[in-house]
């Protein structure tokens, strides 16, 4: 069982546990019906396949018909998908399927607003690891649906030397040197810098990426001039949508923002079921 199937199984067990005492006592297992998931506000849709897998976990031979695709911009009142199966399956899977879709569509919608606000196609907008525990793969998928990009997926797929690493390893030079001894030559090394002095030290180590953490615009411009193309420049820390273009105009390459995921709200979808 893959991670998504495990998450779906957990979510269904969390909701249904030993049984749906309402549905099981009201609805015969032989009765079939149809459900339609409808958008109650404008949104970027995401999570259609996750919803399908929720219902299939309860009934393998459901009939599934998506009415749009992930990434589509839809208006309120749009029918997103139709599903046919036993009424018990539709009623038991309704809330779990909606919870997944509302969260993922909410992130995609939120991210699209950031992407549309950034008027600079040379700067890449990326997410962070500030995701809901257990949901990272899904939430980062929703970021891509919204039109932005993923930073590293976790601690395992990229070297990012941050302030705490530097503090416990004895400075930027010592920390980078130690990392180079341990990791493959194919792995890029990124170093966080919070001052121009740290930028200079990171440059001396030939870091591949330098992350400017919580610097103001003047500091960022000075850092970009100092780096002068010798490393990719990422800006991070307290990034808000209204500042995206001012940041991009400094000459940086990457803007990373945890707000893409942790500040997104769930959008409103509902499911209408008929016998």
Q: What is the chain's mean pLDDT, rounded?
A: 97
Residue of 70, 94, 198, 213 marked active site: 213
Residue 209 scores a pLDDT above 90: yes
Q: Where are the domains of the chain?
A: 3-115+264-274, 120-262
Which whole number is the average pLDDT over 202-216?
97
pLDDT above 70 coverage of the chain, percent: 100
Residue 19 has pLDDT above 90, yes or no: yes
Active-site residue (options: 162, 178, 221, 241): 162
Q: Is 179 in contact with 161 (CB distance < 8 Å)?
A: yes
Q: Which residue among 130, 180, 221, 226 is the active-site one?
A: 130
Residue range 72-98: average pLDDT? 98
Residue-wise pLDDT tens digits, 168-179: 999 999 999 999
CA atoms of 165 and 190, how far apart (whole Å): 12
Whether the pLDDT of residue 1 is over 80: the answer is no
Options 3.90.1170.20, 2.30.130.10, 3.40.50.300, 1.10.10.10; CATH of 3-115+264-274: 3.90.1170.20
- Span 200-221, mean pLDDT? 97
Is 162 catalytic? The answer is: yes
- Contacts (Cβ under 8 Å, ≥6 apart) of 78: 38, 39, 67, 68
- pLDDT band (50, 70, 90) for residue 105: very high
Catalytic site residue from 94, 127, 139, 192: 192
Give me the pLDDT at residue 238, please: 85
36: annotated active-site residue: no
Three-point CA angle 39, 41, 42, nearest 5°? 95
Is residue 192 among the annotated active site residues? yes
Distance (Å, rounded) from C-alpha 14 to C-alpha 93? 12
Active site residue 188: no
Asked if 122 is an active-site residue, the reply is no
For the domain 120-262, what is the CATH code?
3.20.20.70
Packed helices 136-146 and 3-16: angle between N→C axes, nearest 10 degrees = 110
């Amino acid at each position: 069982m893959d991670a998504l199937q495990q998450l779906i199984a957990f979510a269904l067990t969390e909701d249904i546990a030993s049984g749906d005492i309402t549905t099981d006592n009201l609805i015969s297992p032989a009765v079939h019906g149809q459900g339609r998931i409808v958008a109650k506000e404008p949104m970027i849709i995401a999570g259609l396949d996750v919803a399908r897998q929720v219902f299939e976990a309860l009934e393998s031979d459901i009939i599934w018909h998506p009415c749009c695709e992930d990434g589509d911009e839809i208006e309120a009142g749009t029918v997103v998908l139709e599903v046919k199966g036993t009424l018990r399956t539709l009623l038991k899977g309704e809330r779990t399927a909606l919870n997944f879709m509302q969260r993922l569509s909410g992130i995609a919608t939120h991210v699209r607003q950031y992407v549309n606000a950034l008027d600079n196609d040379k700067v890449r907008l990326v997410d962070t690891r500030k995701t809901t525990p257990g949901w990272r793969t899904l939430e980062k998928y929703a970021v891509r649906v919204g039109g932005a990009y993923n930073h590293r997926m976790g601690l395992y797929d990229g070297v990012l030397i941050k302030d705490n690493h530097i503090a416990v390893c004895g400075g930027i030079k010592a920390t980078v040197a130690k990392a180079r001894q341990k990791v493959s030559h194919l792995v890029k090394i990124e170093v966080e810098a919070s001052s121009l002095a740290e930028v200079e030290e990171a440059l001396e180590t030939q870091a591949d990426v330098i992350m400017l953490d919580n610097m103001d615009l003047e500091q960022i411009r000075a850092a970009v001039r100092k780096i002068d193309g010798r490393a990719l420049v990422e800006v991070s820390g307290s990034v808000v949508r209204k500042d995206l273009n001012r940041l991009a105009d400094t000459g940086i390459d990457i803007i990373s923002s945890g707000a893409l995921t942790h500040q997104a709200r769930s959008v409103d979808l509902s499911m209408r079921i008929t016998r």
